[in-house]
Amino acid sequence: MKKTQNKPIETTESSAMLYMQHSQVMIVYTEKSDREVWASFKSGDEAAFNYIYRKYVADLFNYGMQICKQEEIIRDCLQKMFIDLRKNQAKLGDVQRIKGYLFTVFHRELFKFLKKEKKLNADLISIDNEESIFCIETSHETKLIDEEFALEKKAEIAKALNKLSTRQRQAIIMLYQEELSYKEIAEVMNFSEVKTARTLVYRAMEKLKEIFEVEKA
């Protein structure tokens, strides 16, 4: 995995330390369900907003950058989204899972912006068939953890995954890496039916079936 700067928030020991330093505030919220945190945010609790920002901004930023590799744009869209949420906080609905909700809102915000900009600026990418979007890697040097797949095999799997359509890759990565449910993926990708998201992943994996099944040498 290529790291562009330091490590992402949430995944390093330093951020574990950071969490501890904010212990009092953070504990209050980590013990609560998403639903409760969201309710606190809606009632104007600034600490709840701080918690939400801290917890999700890194993933949202990374997600946006997969689609459009211009940091400025992604930051502007994040800013706009969070400001809008705060402005309308009292009017917002209930939310069961904050992450899925933020991904949906952010995705919408970003595409709205990209569509508008594309009219003005023809260089901006076309999202539907772009090979460089949502590229997948078969991660870490898991050589030792895994029993079934050799390194070469993993490279082969990665290659096959990256030949899938952008939408399939996006759904796969959101399902396994972002841990969103099919329902949430359908919402983010703007499918009217959950089944569409499910089928997208299933078809993709069926294509790769032969690669998975060949026994190791």
Helix axes 98-120, 46-67, angle to 10 degrees: 50
Q: What's the closest the beta carbon of residue 95 comes to another protein, in angstroms?
A: 18
- Quickly tell me which residue has 């953070």 as its tokens: 26
Query: According to CB under 8 A, which one of 99, 134, 186, 191 is a site residue for another protein?
Result: 134
Amino acid at 121: N
Helix (H) or strand (E) holding 62: helix 46-67
Cβ partners under 8 Å of residue 190, min gap 6 = 107, 108
- Minimum distance from residue 6 beta carbon to another protein (Å): 6
Contacts (CB under 8 A) with another protein, residues 15-34 = 15-23, 26-27, 30-31
113 binds another protein (CB under 8 A): no
| Choice from 34, 113, 149, 156 touching another protein (CB under 8 A) | 149
Pair of tokens at residue 182: 């099919």
Neighbours of 22 (CB within 10 A): 15
Helix/strand/coil for 155: helix
Residues 166-205 that bind another protein (CB under 8 A): 172-173, 175-177, 179, 181-182, 198, 201-202, 205
**Of the candidates 135, 152, 190, 195, which one interacts with another protein according to CB under 8 A?**
135
Quick check: 92 binds another protein (CB under 8 A)? no
Applying CB under 8 A, the span of 104-112, 113-121, 122-130, 132-140 interacting with another protein comes to: 132-140
- Among 37, 73, 78, 102, which residue interacts with another protein (rule: CB under 8 A)? 78
Let me know if 76 is exposed, middle or buried by CB neighbors in 10 A (0-12, 13-18, 19+). middle
How far apart CA 214 and CA 19 sit, in angstroms, is: 44
Distance CA 85, CA 83 (A): 5
Shortest CB 119 distance to another protein, Å? 26
Do the beta carbons of residue 201 and residue 168 sit within 8 Å?
yes
Give the binding range for another protein (CB under 8 A) out of 33-41, 52-60, 92-100, 107-115.
Answer: 52-60
125 or 205: whose CB is closer to another protein? Answer: 205
One residue of 33, 35, 36, 79 binding another protein per CB under 8 A? 79
